Structure 1
């Protein structure tokens, strides 16, 4: 629908050639200069009254109502636990390089809040960390050892949510493991075990959740007998479910983390193997695994 509305506006105002010039013929600096001037002129038309009225209608800008002290205490507890297990905390910028979410992943850029100065509002820390790792790798400041990163960020998505409890901006906890293929699926098995183990600890030790389990979903060309997902400890409550051959986001396998509270099951985490660092570094030997945990949802469910 939004695409049709955009097409209608462009057609009605006869802006086809103008849009093409902006998109294809101006370099980044020139486009930024033009848009800065446009928004500067638009803002000059605003008054304190119109500003307040627009704030009232804008769902993207309202604060999240919560016990902020408890939320930050949980963040600190998680970071301390993650750091003790070798997951380096990384504090990301509130904005990412334009295209971070959509160029190497399958996210529609329209679901991301695109900004000026060649940036976009942070929409997924895993993408930003992949870009940071690739940049460091390109600079040759990283060795051959696997790097484990952790981040808790408040991110923003512009798509409409059907669930009334979902807010446009929310906190997520991300685990990212980046390294090189060492053969025999060693990276995949070792990092899967690390990420599942630390995710379990976070739920149990920080949020007091005792009932949880993981589902491993093989991707195209893999099944429950694949060497990369066998020999995992039974103590981690892992089950391998039917392969998902339609998924184009993860490859090899996908991980789902679920918790049980008062006999209700909540899907609280999602992750898996990604090829983003392979694309960024043009190297098929690169490996990347992520886990994203709904930190804000965990906080809300256990804030009693």
Structure 2
């Protein structure tokens, strides 16, 4: 929020200096084509003033630098990932998405995505265009009655929020999965999609280990963000405050807020009813049933396929509140860089909003290609 306020103040100051205090509102009210024409001329004039020396200086910025990961290793990773996701239709995404896509669907602030001219923005989240394609292909009611649509993609994206975490850079590659389908009752879609995505990531991990990637213990955390929200409300915690400090690149940042208030959430839950005690009764009935079904349906399948993987139900996760709407997954690999979350995903309401259909369901997830190839790469 502070960064947003600062941007607004700077824009207002520039408008006043130009003698047009209403400049931002005036430009915002322009038709898209008119604004594009105006800005195209502005950028044409600015580009004409750029010298070779200016270019060389600009090329030093991290956002313009090529990835430090070995390109051949990235390609090997992608080959392994597409193999692990053989049940998903592979797509090669456009480098841009419709302007405002990340903000409208994923809630990413526009300041953190590079807006472009002509109604576009540089790709900031590959699951967003995959969700848009799924919605386009499921617009027809007959298509919605068909089987779930499974899509996957490898893509380089750009995020502009300041990040000081090791291994994170402004642009990076992710491999993403999307499953779009219909509510068939008893949380069947959600539990099936969750199982499917986790198994893809574990198949990929097995392949990478055989190729020499250096990670040992693998932990799979399954969470339910609606259950966690209910537990927070029951203890008088303002969920909006938690959202403001919790982020995927700041894992654990929100824990300090809870610690200050003496609030604890269960991180290892064998039996939700027993572990939560009286708090279990405060969960919405549908949420309580969903937790039971995860234990009954999801855990046995994953444990049977990968018995060495540490698998747990975690009701202490704070990252993703308001982003995921129910079940979520997070996978950690232990290796030279420590135990890092490398895959993340969950249920969203994006296709419900796009198709104005509350029965639509969407499960998205992604793994950090760049992170793994930089921090867990094979030796030699």
d(CA) in 2 for partners of 1:162 and 1:72?
Answer: 27
1:64 aligns with 2:138: no
Structure with the larger RCO, 1 or 2 (CA within 8 Å, 6+ apart): 2
What is the number of residues matched between the two proteins?
Answer: 300
Show the counterpart of 2:175.
173
- TM-score of the aligned structures, taking structure 1 as reference length: 0.91
Partner of 1:118: 119
1:42 aligns with 2:15: no
Change (3 A) 1:77 1:13: same
Runs of at least 5 residues in structure 2 that lack an aligned partner in the other structure: 1-5, 228-286
Judging changes above 3 Å, is the alpha-carbon distance between structure 1 residues 207 and 111 closer, same or farther for their aligned structure 2 residues? farther
- Verify: 1:258 aligned to 2:332, yes or no: yes
The residue aligned with 1:15 is 20
Kindly state the Cα deviation for residue 140 of structure 1 after the two structures are TM-superposed: 6.2
Question: Quick one: distance in 2 between partners of 1:13 and 1:87?
Answer: 53
Tell me by how many angstroms 1:138 deviates: 2.0
Deviation at 1:73, TM superposition (A): 1.8
Give the CA deviation at 1:171: 0.7
Which secondary structure does the structure 2 equivalent of 1:270 belong to?
strand
Q: Say whether 1:150 aligns with 2:164.
A: no
| 2:79 pairs with one of 76, 84, 89 | 76
Moved more, 192-201 or 218-227: 218-227
- After superposition, residues 77-226 of structure 1 pair within 5 angstroms as 77-83=80-86, 86-138=87-139, 142=143, 144-208=146-210, 209-221=215-227, 222-223=287-288, 226=291
The runs of 5 or more residues in structure 1 that have no matched partner are none
Q: TM-score, normalised by structure 2?
A: 0.74
Moved more, 208-217 or 190-199: 208-217
Partner of 2:348: 274
CA gap 1:284/1:62 in 2 versus in 1, 3 angstroms? same
Q: Which moved more, 1:226-235 or 1:281-290?
A: 226-235
1:249, distance to aligned residue in structure 2 (A): 0.7
Q: Are 1:29 and 2:33 an aligned pair?
A: yes
Query: Where does residue 291 of structure 1 map in the other structure?
Result: 365
Query: Which of the two has greater helix per residue?
Result: 2
Q: Deviations over 1:42-64 (max 9, x none)?
A: 111122222222223x3211101
What's the Cα RMSD here? 2.1
Measured in 2, the distance between the counterparts of 1:69 and 1:243 equals: 38
